[in-house]
Amino acid sequence: MNPVFVIAGYVLREAASRKFILAFMVGLTLVLATVALSLKLEVVDGALAATRLFGEVVRAHITSVDVALRPIFRAAAYLVFYGGILFGIVACSDFAPGLLSPGRIEHLLALPLQRWHLLAGTFVGVMTLAVGGTVYAAGGLTLIFGVKTGYWTMGPLVAGGLACVGFAAVYAVMLTTATLVRSAALCSAAGFVLLVGGILAGFRTDVSRYLEAGFGRTSFDAVTLVLPRLSALAVGAADLASSTPLKPDSLGMLLGGVLVFGLGALAVGFWHFEGKDC
């Protein structure tokens, strides 16, 4: 088996033993189950005629199911995107520092692996975890609303996929940070900084207008040109989830750009780790 996948399995096995990740999955299941059990949707000829949550009417208008579910899927997409990235930053911050800790890294490096296998395996493991969590959350939501309304859409799942690409860029930076400093806190901090930078980069045109022309604005434009445009991706994810027309000119290009940024960050990590004495 490719060592990258063995390391990924190693990371996943470690993750499975973490109580707070298990607690998160249980919590997610409970939320989905609560929504499934407490939400009553009355559908008449494809229109959402009435919505009751815990027996209380929560919607006052009747419209097509897909239109009615748009704000819900949109909100869910934003929640999955930003909530997922935030949770991922916190939950996955110590995987890489843990793997690079004394007593473990020497053992791993003495095995017949390339150094980049370790980082790539950690990345793949964490991303598998992220994709699994996203599919579980978005899929559960799609399933609940699909069963209750008869309206089936891949939107939330696709939006979840976009969220995973966004997280890939963030985690690549966190992983690279771990090769520089073996600290979960600093890895988290790097992830947060990139998330904020990514949000700004998505709105760079709007933000740039409010900056005074000159060095400040030029610097801002230059930095945000390279940063992954996470907020733009989030908007695209929400558009996809709610089946509304896409705002970015080409979501595919944007998505590719964010993914390639992640790979670039990962390559920096490989570069540094390759020359590092552990």
Partner 1 sequence: MDLLVPSGSAFGLIGPNGAGKTTFIKSVLGIVRPTAGTVRVLGGSPEDPAIRARIGYLPERLHLPGTWKAPAFLATVARLKRLKPDAPAHLRLLERVGLSDAVDRKIGGYSKGMRQRLGLAAALLGDPSLLVLDEPTDGIDPMGRLEVRRILQEEVRRGVTLFLNSHLLAETERVCDRVAILADGRVLREGRLEELARGGAKWRVRFAPGVETSALAAAGFVPAESEARISTGTPPGLAADGAREGVYLVEATDVAVLNAALDRARASGALLMELRREGADLEAVLLGAVGSGPGVAA
Partner 2 sequence: MDSRGRRKVWLGGAVLLFAVAALLMFTGQGDELPPPAPEVKFPSRMRGTDFERAEKRRTWVMPTAQDAGVAAPVKPRDPLLAALPRGPGRTAVVIEANALRHSPLGELLLDCLMRDGGKNLEQFKALSGVDPLQDLDRMVITDEGLILSGDFSKARYQELLGERVSSDHGPGARVYEPGDTSIALPDGGTRRGRMDNAVGTWNDQMLVLGRNPDEVKTVLDRMDGRGPEEGPPLLDENSTYGEMYGVLAVEQLAKLLGPEQAELAQRLKDVAQNVELHLDTSGDVAMVADVRGLDEQKMTDLGKSLGGALSMARMKAQAEGNTEMAQLLDFAKVRPDGTSFKLELAVPLSAIQEQLAWCRKPAGSTPPAP
Q: Which helix (H) or strand (E) holds 42?
A: strand 39-44
Is the CB of residue 48 less than 8 Å from the CB of residue 41? yes
From partner 2, partner 1, none, interface partner of 260 (C-beta below 5 to 8 A by class): partner 2
Return the residues of window 40-99 that contact partner 2 according to CB under 8 A: 42, 44-50, 60-65, 67
End-to-end CA separation in angstroms for the chain: 25
Binding footprint of partner 1 on the chain (CB under 8 A): 1, 3, 6-7, 9-10, 13-14, 17, 101-114, 275, 277-278
The item of partner 2, partner 1, none sharing an interface with residue 183, based on CB under 5 to 8 Å by kind, is: none
Please, what is the minimum distance in Å from the beta carbon of residue 109 to partner 2? 12
202 binds partner 2 (CB under 8 A): yes
List the structure tokens of 37. 């059990």
Q: Which stretch binds partner 2 (CB under 8 A): 27-35, 83-91, 187-195, 200-208?
A: 200-208
Crossing angle for the helix pair 251-274 and 115-149, nearest 10 degrees?
Answer: 150
Q: Does 104 bind partner 2 (CB under 8 A)?
A: no
Q: Are 157 and 81 in contact (CB under 8 A)?
A: no
CA atoms of 152 and 183, how far apart (whole Å): 43
Q: Does 165 bind partner 2 (CB under 8 A)?
A: no
Among 83, 85, 170, 92, residue whose Cα is nearest residue 125: 92
Q: Which does 214 bind (CB under 5 to 8 A by kind): partner 2, partner 1, none?
A: none
Nearest distance in Å: CB 90, partner 2: 25
Compare residues 19 and 209 and give the one whose CB is closer to partner 1: 19
C-beta neighbour count of 123 within 10 angstroms: 27
Q: Are 85 and 170 in contact (CB under 8 A)?
A: yes
Question: Residue 226's Cα: distance from chain center in Å?
Answer: 19
- By CB under 8 A, name the binding residues for partner 2: 42, 44-50, 60-65, 67, 116, 201-202, 205-206, 225-226, 228-229, 232, 247-261, 263-265, 267-268, 270-271, 274-275
